[in-house]
Amino acid sequence: MARLIDSGPGCPTPTPLRGPNAAEARGLVYDDAVRAETDHLYPLVQDFVTPMEWPAIAPLVAAINRLKAEKNAVILAHNYMTPDIFRLVGDFRGDSLQLAREAAAVDADIIVQAGVHFMAETSKILAPQKTVLIPDMRAGCSLADSITAADVRLIKQKFPDYPIVTYVNTSADVKAECHITCTSSNAAQVVEAIAKEWNSDTVILVPDQYLAKNVAAQTKIRVMTWPGSCEVHEMFTADDVEALREAHPGVVILAHPECPPDVLEAADFAGSTSALANYVAEKHPHKVVLLTECSMSDNVAAENPGTNFIRPCNLCPHMKRITLENIYDCLVKGEYEVTIPEDVRVRAKKAIDAMLALPRMEKPLAFETGLKPLELEMVV
């Protein structure tokens, strides 16, 4: 069962604990110069950062923004970053595919990935000439860790006639062994396109069993999968959905497709983080809940003041390793650099390019809700 914050609409999720002297310990003080540089930024986070906390944050924000200009660096901030990172220092914001595309296109010498390790690798795959830094090398992912390149080689031996699609939440090594990548915005499109290309009625989609089951419900293609899961999204249950509807009559429930299929069955709408954000921006629901990582609701709420957000609090411990403090340290010290052996990078890029070569969709695909969950054959 997900832990639900029962503090009423509009209450933000907890921000990471920050020592009062996090900035001072780095020789940064809240002086007149910092006030002048940051006063206009406070309204962007006033729902999440108290006036008492601001003097500990503002010097870090000012210093990070100065360092970015000095070093020709940009920060790619994933939707699951806390609002202080997402709104105050992120230059590009969005889901992993949007960020990877920005990484390839941006005119910068340094990319700081405010996200997890596989995202930094994806940036490096698409922008090999740029230095890609991640503020904490331990920012991993339960999905990416669930499968290795050796596992994929065994799958290929066992099922040589079926194309293998990998969700982008995997290491570069794994991508290098797969035929094409997908995101939660385009997974059904990719499965159908690769099935057609291979003239196959079956596609293997790894490593997220729940994404695979949710995709299989949307297509006539037979999908086989791998027993990986996101430790954040798998905590949501259909009982949570029922409890939310009872506690908050009229609430609109949006779910990410990494949630188990019975959650999507019970939800009102499902899609990638971009699709969820678009839904709120376009439909303006009065009261909404986003069944996804905690900080996403804060970031969408900040853009949609007319909507009340009920906030389930499932934090991703890997995403939460990224903080303003270690972003500052990362820019000062130039660490930690993400590198990929060139042969692996080239093969991984082929899998990403195969996805990017598909017709670009105007909007991320929504997943139909209300469908009966399917059981899929595992490739292990």
Residues found near ligand SF4 in the complex (CB under 6 A): 116, 141-143, 169, 230-232, 293, 316, 318-319
For the CB of residue 275, give the shortest distance to ligand SF4 in the complex, in Å.
16
Quick one: 5 or 154, whose CB is closer to ligand SF4?
Answer: 5
- Quick one: 38 or 82, whose CB is closer to ligand SF4? 82
CB of 317 to ligand SF4, least distance (A): 8
- Among residues 96, 77, 86, 93, the alpha carbon closest in space to that of 48 is found at 86
Give the shortest CB-239-to-ligand SF4 separation in angstroms.
21
Ranges of H-type helices in the chain: 32-38, 42-45, 54-71, 83-88, 96-105, 117-126, 149-158, 172-177, 187-198, 209-216, 238-247, 261-266, 273-283, 294-303, 324-333, 342-356
Q: Identify the helix (H) or strand (E) that includes residue 270.
A: strand 269-271
Nearer to ligand SF4, 191 or 319 (CB): 319
N- to C-terminal Cα separation, the chain: 28
What stretch of H or E contains 334? Answer: none
- Between residues 122 and 142, which has the closer beta carbon with respect to ligand SF4? 142
Backbone angles phi, psi at 331, to 5 degrees: -70, -35
Closest distance between ligand SF4 and the C-beta of residue 146, in Å?
Answer: 10
Q: How far is the CB of 194 from ligand SF4 (least distance, A)?
A: 22
Taking the least distance from each CB to ligand SF4, the nearer of 169 and 297 is 169
Structure tokens at 318: 């890997």
Q: For the CB of residue 201, give the shortest distance to ligand SF4 in the complex, in Å.
A: 29
Answer yes or no: are the C-beta atoms of 96 and 122 closer than 8 Å.
yes
Q: Which C-beta is closer to ligand SF4: that of 143 or that of 270?
A: 143
